[in-house]
Structure 1
């Protein structure tokens, strides 16, 4: 199974969540701050901020949190974010995590590094229940992301 590594854009990531940023900021008046709420949780859950050092180069499971949004904000290195909105291998997509995103509740996800290691800031509800989906032999990097050619991922 081959999975092309995609660059994150609001339109191709919409099924899984939102890109954290300010769209069309160049069209806004200059000289003043811009503020945008990306996601609002209506329930009073509390939240936590975590720091993840990613060293895995392959992935053998995806996880899902049905009750929380989850942000992935790259700090250092290159990471690949696997996501799926269905528990089907054919539905898995892979994105180069080169900008911050927030996943919708219930999106299957997993992350690997495309470097020696990478670092990610994560924000989510204070209490997180996780479900796991074992993928078998896992997804293994077969070429480097960020090149002019489409990078590929493959299952063993």
Structure 2
């Protein structure tokens, strides 16, 4: 597998995967609805990440999913539904909400990282397994 750059999350380069959770110019009185979803309920979880490599990604065909960094340094690996091998890597330094069906995985660069996750109450998951582990590396 070839090297991939770590990208900084910005509204433009993230749009095909979902939304960056941040105030836009449309907000009034400091309140801005970023994402809405018809759903019979939702749940909030804290995910403590100790994985520094990964051999798989997952997606949820019927659920949006937010990732909000709490502590540590994590990478968010993402791919559109049609091709999980064509992934991008983002530094998870701001909250985001993924669209339904986006392949994703989180790995940590620090000893441990924690991420707050919000998703539908009932979540269907699909998994994709890579031929080789994905490992973060620094090149000079």
Provide TM-score, normalisation by structure 2: 0.92
Q: How many residues align?
A: 138
1:97 is aligned to 2:92: yes
1:11 is aligned to 2:5: no
Q: 1:21-62: CA deviations, max 9, x gaps? A: 10248xx7xxx83111111112x3200000000000001000
Secondary structure in 2 matching 1:11: helix
Match in the other structure for 1:134: 129
Shift of 1:88: 4.1
Match in the other structure for 2:24: 23
Shift of 1:116: 0.4
Secondary structure in 1 matching 2:35: coil
Q: How does 1:2-151 map to 2 (within 5 A)?
A: 2-24=3-25, 33-42=29-38, 44-85=39-80, 86-89=82-85, 91-143=86-138
Provide TM-score, normalisation by structure 1: 0.83
Secondary structure in 2 matching 1:33: coil
- Distance across 2 between alignment mates of 1:12 and 1:19: 10
Gaps of 5+ in 2: none
Q: 1:91-144: CA deviations, max 9, x gaps? A: 20000000000000000000000100100000000010100000122110112x
Q: Provide the aligned C-alpha RMSD in A.
A: 1.8
Match in the other structure for 1:148: none
- Distance across 2 between alignment mates of 1:92 and 1:15: 12
Secondary structure in 1 matching 2:40: coil
Asked if the contact 2:10/2:20 (under 8 Å) is kept, the reply is yes
The runs of at least 4 aligned residues of structure 1 exceeding 6 Å deviation read none
Secondary structure in 2 matching 1:12: helix
